[in-house]
Structure 1
Amino acid sequence: MKAKCYCLFFLVFSSIVMVATSAQSADMGSPGQLVNQLEADLAAAKSNQVDVLSPSFFKDAESALMKAKRGLERGSKISAIRQYVTEGNTSLKRAQEIAKVSRTILRDTNEARDKALKVQADKLGEPYNKVEKDYLSLTTAIERDNLSYAQKNAAKVQAAFRNVEIMAIKDQALGNARQMMDQAEKANVQKIAPKVYNEALQALNDAVAFIGQNPYASETILQKAAHAEFMAQRMVAVSESSKKFKEMAPEVSAMYLESLLMRLGKSVDAGDIRNQGVEMQVNSLTHAITAMDQRTQSLTKDNQDYQAQIADIEQQLSSLKGYSRDQETARQRLAAEREFNEQFNKVQGYFRPDEAEVYKQGKQLVIRMRGIQFPVGQAILTPDNFSLLSKVQQAIQTFGQPMVTIEGHTDIVGSAQVNKELSQKRAEAVKAYLVANRTLPDDRILTAGYGPDRPLAPNTTPEGRAINRRIDVLIQPVGTK
């Protein structure tokens, strides 16, 4: 009887153990699931910068993951794979604990590093890599419980991150101007046109100094960068003219200048003034332009008076004929539409077909800039775009002080988030140009980056993608909604 009870007890106990073991095994999951979970946990930790806040322990965790993956590929024992996963989880947990300490001790340094990365200082190459190496020495010291070393050197690394941040801001804002200055030096422009070279160099140095003192004054930085580029372009133009005049005989130079003044004279009806000296010709042209301006102002005033008389007559007629409010509103609407159509036709004439498409969208005028070009993956306006942007500026000013929205669009190449950020930055670059050139006040220009969300053509062909990469300028005249 006792033997039977013992056997029964043993069978029940064995069943309980087997069930418990089976449950424990199910909780642990298959080796493949465990490896995938560790890989996901490492990816999440890396997105939280654990890989730099605790580099050694994070590296140990990655090494354990690689061993577990290789074990899966080779069909190693399940116990060995689980051991690697356990080691990886242990190292990752330790890395996360160290990361908390690093965030506390290196709080200001981490903020400086984040700001540097935000302006893409990591693309500077060696200057940034050196600072990053020094930063990793701090976090490695924290891992080794050498907190005094980290605290002692944190301020130095923080200052270094700020320096590369400013370097990156300068590189982004002044890259075009610096490139033109470098090319000018290689072409010996400083000898051909030393005065304009020095003026362009001074504008560049002023911008560099300002950014060093005010790295977050983005609007003023854009203005100073635009001025530096303008002066560099002027330097190139003057140097090319200087070389051209140097190659000419004196008489040929004089006749060339005469032809330019003659073309200008014809445009302002100054007559044939070639029998006068250069300064006298310029004076004659100035007087002719002044007289033309005065005539224009007089015609404008006469037109305003005429319009006022028409308005007065129309108002009298309205009273005499008993116009209703609805009729008057309709008349005003028709007048506004007539004026808008006239402005639309005028703006259409500013652009060539390859530069921009101009069309009406409700009560807005849309300028779809076909000809605007940006470097791949960047939001920097190159000098090649200035002629087109000048026409856009002229088009906007045709409407006085309208509200303007600048929309950035991309194709689908790359991630949607990156494209959306890029399209926003490109729209802001166009706004900065217009504000810097006093087209409109800052608060009358809005920007929007839509990335690939609003395609005009299929993204399946190079032509379609080229059409989708664009900047649209939406002009809302005053008084319309």
Structure 2
Amino acid sequence: MRKIIKLLTTITVMFISGAYIYGQGMQTSLFNDVDKIMLAATESQADVLSPKAYEEGMEAYKKAKDAYKDDGEISEIKQNITQAGGKFTEAIDNSKVSAVMFANSLSARKDAINAEAGSFSKDSWMEAEETMKDAAEELEKGDADDAKEKASTASELYRKAELESIKANYLTNAKKLLEHADDNKVDKRAPKTFNEAKGLINQAEKELVENRYDTDEARYLAKQAEYKASLAMNIAQQEEILADRDFEAEDYILMVYEPLNTIGENLNLDLKFDKGIQGPVSEILTKTNKDAFRISSLEAELYNSKMANQNMTEMLAEQQKIQENMEGQLSEDAVQAQKRQQVLQARIDRIADIDSKFDKIQQIFNAEEALVFRQKDNIIIRMVGVNFDIGKAEIKQEDYALLAKLEKAIGTFDNASVVIEGHTDSQGADDNNLELSEQRAAAVLSYLSANINIDKSRFSTTGYGESKPVANNETKQGRTQNRRIDVIIVPTIGDTTLSLGSNE
């Protein structure tokens, strides 16, 4: 009897487990595609840029989920899934248009998020979010004028929320740290750093008053003030500890070398300090920059290898199809397979040609002039050697020779499209930075047009302002890297008008 009960129990457990696994598999099968579309919509900020379509998509998605949990009709579940997918796709398409029109508002929103306005300035943040939603909904209705007006108001509200948040978050913390340092008489042990923190707080407050709607510099100063106040306390603490150890000057100097030596060992560098620390620091920077460039190159090589492997796999499949269809004379399928194989071979040859030309372009510039790397099939030339004066867009005479090299690099590809991008750091007003980046990109194209014989129809310019940083805007070196001109060469891969995936 016990054996029978045990057997029945085992069968029941297996049945329940099997049903659960089947149910999970069914859910994955039903919702897999719409989950991907929903994720893409979220990543494109569709909840902000196309709220109506996004919300309708979420409502349909929830209905599908609820119906599935309640063992509803599969047809009803699929209908809601289809509706959700359609609305999410619509929201993604809307977001592409909205992202351009609302670029300034999105930039202001991003700054407010970075300042944690949702925590430190809740009322202003919520008002800004509601206004931004209204703007996006107006655009969804087709009313661009009202959308622009509301987006402008949203930008101001985001700036207000950011300003309040910076004061509440960064300055308040910095002042508290400074008060704590003062109570512990840190100004006696670390007077320079302590006074520097006080000065930074004063500068930040002044900056907030004078540039109410451009808080990048104020935020940076506030963060630096907080850091300096904390650093002053740490210096005072370390000074007290070291005083008890009766250290001499030699001990202090060797302590400075220790962390650099540790970094050098991890980078496989044999650092020497007999001529000071500047040499070792330069070695470390050179090594890390080379490694970063090497990683970028390896990523491009990996992509090229994957594409070559994919093309070869497709070609072998087409070759197999030709052999299977050879019966005295070529069938229609075999003829089509041959054509597709020819397209694939042309593409493989074209990619090999791009690889060869990419290597040639890399040889044109040295590291101080430009960084050359790949993003899939595109070649990016980052003109690090072209420097503009602050707030200016005029090409300097000292950059003429480098721009001549750029022309040589572009000329390597006869029919490629070329996009010249302008970028700035985060200092200054967003609108001004966007305009300045556009002017700088246009200045480069204007110089090329005036001095070199180019086909203008292949060229275009765009400015991104501060929206696409490649380094930390909180450091001087990072801001220098972000003020840049990127030239993107977009090669043609060849004739792809014949469908490679069609078997018809």
Short-chain TM bin:
0.3 to 0.5
- TM-score, with normalisation over the residues of structure 1? 0.39
